[in-house]
Structure 1
Amino acid sequence: MTAAVGIGARWAVSALFFANGLVVGSWAPKLPAMMARLGIGESVAGLLVLSLGVGSICLMPVFGALVARRGSAWAVRLAAVLFAPSLIWISLAPTVWAVAATVLVFGGLIGAMDVAMNANAVAVERARRRAIMSSCHGFWSLGGLAGAGAGGLGIQAMGELAHAVVVTGIVAAILALAFPRLLRDGPEGGHAHQPLRLPRTPLPYLIGVMALASMIPEGAILDWAAVYLQREMGASLALAGWGFAACAGTMAVMRFLGDAIRRRHGAVRTLQASTVIAMAGLALAALAGSPPLALIGFGLAGIGIANMVPIAFSAAGNLPGLAQGVGLSVVTTMGYSGILLAPGTIGFLAERTGFSVIYLGLSLLLLVPLALSRLARTADFEG
């Protein structure tokens, strides 16, 4: 592969991450508008969010198999084309049950595209012999920030359906530019005709446990940081909203720096340092005596969390002896199940213990990826 082709493929897959983040970010402000349109409360809306997560986990293994049989470029094109107009179908759904069905499919396509674009990023890493996974996730963060930031204004100015049409048009334009430049990979020798089954080696499952433990704290900050700051620390609602923002901001910056850090220090050392920093940030947030100190803790946690999951995904995508996409689908499914299962469980426990204990416990949970960090050595492929 020439350097020019490699650069084109690198930016094409980055564009897919941005487009996916843009749509997912646009979903966040759409939820309250949809609740008002359907006349539903928080409990029903919570079930809709749960259906999104269930759909995502269901299609991840399916598209992992498609990546193994047809290659990541083919799979990501299919997923992206189906995914792009999802917000329109949700906006047009007239009843709660119809919305539930479309949200289930929406979640499934999020997971499908997630597996396929991460697999394509791994293929580009191999072809260029350079780490790009962290910055790809950085582009996803930028897309999510753009979608969530502009979504509320767009829905208020244009209405729910018009906003969905505009977002779909932007995503379609991104896909039109990215598709011709995608790295065209194929199934690795012999794998296309072999029956696809769950891996028998424990390595992808252990890396999946590492990803699971890494993603639960991120979900806990996303869903509960504002509640913790407001209810337990007495912060104003405006200040409480900065809980996840502090984490997300530092996370985005560190994801763009993460590939260079990994190239210099190696995946294992980068993961170990990231884990220790995330543990310190969560502990600081848990033990902070004031909201500003807790915000510093959440920001520090974002610095650490930023590159833990990208490194796990790179390690899974480069496991020897597995069909392309199979190991990655196991790890993504296990990792994202943490974000699906954690919010309800954390809320249940917090009613009895308080969020300070929860965040301190999540700091200790990160001892798991720290103990398994040596497994990240397969993410080092340069040289």
Structure 2
Amino acid sequence: MKSLQLILSNPRYFAPAFVFTSLNIWFGTWAIYIPSVKEKLQIDKADLGIAIFFLSLGVFTVFPIASKIINKIGVGRATWFGVVFNSVLALFPLIAPNYYSLCIALFLFGACNGLTDIAMNTLVTEIEKEDKQNFMSAAHGFFSLGGVIVGLGSFLIPLIGSPFLHMLITVILVLIINVFLKKRYYHITAAPVEKEPFSLKLFKPLLVLGIIGFVSMGSEGGIIDWSALYLKEVVLAPEALIGSGFLAFSAMMTFGRFLGDGISQRIGSIKLVALGAFIAIIGYVLVLSENSILAIVGFALNGLGFSVMVPELFRIGGNVKGVESSQGVAFIAGTGYSGFLLGPVILGFLAEGFTLKTSFWALLGCAALVLFLTIVLNTKKTT
């Protein structure tokens, strides 16, 4: 909890952490109004799926050029510009007059989300290097906190009565807070790195990190999308407990991220990722027991295990020797986000072709793969 105390007591650390919170508030507020947009534009689920694909397409489009933009204008300025443009672009999907304008609005919103994601993770990496303080994991905890704020804000929906007005109020409040905080990071630029010419030796640690990111975020996405159905159809849990798996997963995810930095300082990033994978393996064993209480405890352990993986991957990726921090972070973000999107789809095919329980056996195998890869990384001593 030292990193949480650090963030809450020092504006230098709170300012970038609040950008993490902001990103999830913008995205989450849009997400809760997806049914309203679908109804307003009178589109079916297939059309809605394509529109949401444009959101993902925007994210992926910006990944290859994000590091160049960040290095060109400075990581602090890139983060601030991301805040400003997200504040504007978050409004457009809710006022899109037709389906095609919705797709365009979501593409632009996704692109800005992707750039801000890479910029803010690079910013935290640079501050950690300058101050020799770890707070990446806690910053990701603040991202999770943004989702909690959105959930609480959803109770205001009947009172406000307008998706656009709700988003406008949200955007204004979040932007005002960021305006007061931007001076804490606006001037920060990435420290120059002595770049090495491309070689397989240089790329190999990034490739291993990318695979871990793909697998771990794919597993995270799979649990988010399939845990309730698993409890209902496989475990045959009581109706009242069907949502408990996701709740336990999310709560422990947030809790674990506030603990991660202190543990990382003691044992190192790679060992912490390995520990997270080991905890996740135990969680999957409990989930596969098909006992309601044990399965829910298992999902909680999954949340605890996965909570530290992604923040530590960003930290490792931003410190790979011979690679600019923004490039390392962009690579991890790209592979990880690919897994987050494709993981639930792959699990869906497995569930359809075999059984839903087979999908969770596959997730257990993924956690074991992450544990193996961290052992490989540790022998390479990339950090």
Q: TM-score, normalised by structure 1?
A: 0.90
> Which of 205, 208, 212 is the aligned partner of 2:207?
205
Structure 2: unaligned runs, 5 residues or longer: 1-5
CA contact (8 A) 1:120 1:183 kept: no
Q: Establish whether residue 145 from structure 1 lines up as the match of residue 148 from structure 2.
A: yes
- 1:172 Cα deviation after fit: 0.7
> 1:128 matched to which residue of 2?
131
CA distance in 2, matches of 1:275, 1:251: 13
CA distance in 2, matches of 1:187, 1:27: 32
Structure 1: unaligned runs, 5 residues or longer: none
User: Which runs of structure 2 are paired with 1:184-199 in the superposition (5 Å)?
Assistant: 184-189=187-192
CA distance in 2, matches of 1:184, 1:197: 33
Q: Establish whether residue 225 from structure 1 lines up as the match of residue 227 from structure 2.
A: yes
CA contact (8 A) 1:274 1:304 kept: yes
CA distance in 1, matches of 2:250, 2:57: 24
CA contact (8 A) 2:321 2:382 kept: no
Alpha-carbon spacing, 1:311–1:7, altered in 2? closer, same or farther (3 Å): same
CA contact (8 A) 1:16 1:174 kept: no
Deviates more, 1:71-80 or 1:198-207: 198-207
- 1:198 Cα deviation after fit: 12
CA contact (8 A) 1:29 1:152 kept: no
CA distance in 2, matches of 1:59, 1:336: 12
CA distance in 2, matches of 1:236, 1:172: 43
CA contact (8 A) 2:30 2:94 kept: no
Alpha-carbon spacing, 1:316–1:160, altered in 2? closer, same or farther (3 Å): same
CA distance in 2, matches of 1:185, 1:363: 41
> Which of 180, 195, 207 is the aligned partner of 1:177?
180
Q: Deviations over 1:119-177 (max 9, x none)?
A: 00001111110211100000000011211332363366331111110111122112112
Deviates more, 1:50-59 or 1:126-135: 50-59
Q: Deviations over 1:261-297 (max 9, x none)?
A: 1112222222211110011112321x23233322111
- 1:112 Cα deviation after fit: 0.9
Q: Establish whether residue 167 from structure 1 lines up as the match of residue 170 from structure 2.
A: yes
DSSP 3-state at the match of 2:97: coil
Q: Establish whether residue 108 from structure 1 lines up as the match of residue 111 from structure 2.
A: yes
CA distance in 2, matches of 1:237, 1:162: 35
Name the % identity.
28
CA distance in 2, matches of 1:78, 1:199: 35
Q: Deviations over 1:20-79 (max 9, x none)?
A: 121122122111121121222322222222222221121122222222333211211122
User: Which runs of structure 2 are paired with 1:1-383 in the superposition (5 Å)?
Assistant: 7-151=10-154, 153-154=156-157, 157-182=160-185, 184-189=187-192, 201-235=203-237, 238-285=240-287, 287-373=288-374, 375=377
CA distance in 2, matches of 1:186, 1:234: 53
Residue identity matched to 2:368: L
Q: Deviations over 1:325-345 (max 9, x none)?
A: 011101110111111112222
CA distance in 1, matches of 2:373, 2:222: 22
Q: TM-score, normalised by structure 2?
A: 0.90
The CA RMSD over aligned residues, in Å, is: 2.7
CA distance in 2, matches of 1:367, 1:95: 46
CA distance in 2, matches of 1:251, 1:379: 26
Residue identity matched to 2:233: R
CA distance in 2, matches of 1:197, 1:7: 41
CA contact (8 A) 1:8 1:182 kept: no
Residue identity matched to 1:114: D
CA contact (8 A) 1:216 1:338 kept: yes
Alpha-carbon spacing, 1:157–1:246, altered in 2? closer, same or farther (3 Å): same
CA distance in 2, matches of 1:378, 1:325: 21
Alpha-carbon spacing, 1:360–1:190, altered in 2? closer, same or farther (3 Å): closer
CA contact (8 A) 2:317 2:325 kept: no
Residue identity matched to 1:360: W
CA contact (8 A) 1:67 1:324 kept: no
DSSP 3-state at the match of 1:357: helix
The count of aligned residue pairs is 375
CA distance in 1, matches of 2:155, 2:347: 28
Q: Deviations over 1:84-137 (max 9, x none)?
A: 122311111011111111111111111110000000000111111021110000
Deviates more, 1:149-158 or 1:69-78: 149-158
Alpha-carbon spacing, 1:358–1:106, altered in 2? closer, same or farther (3 Å): same
- 1:247 Cα deviation after fit: 0.5
DSSP 3-state at the match of 1:325: helix
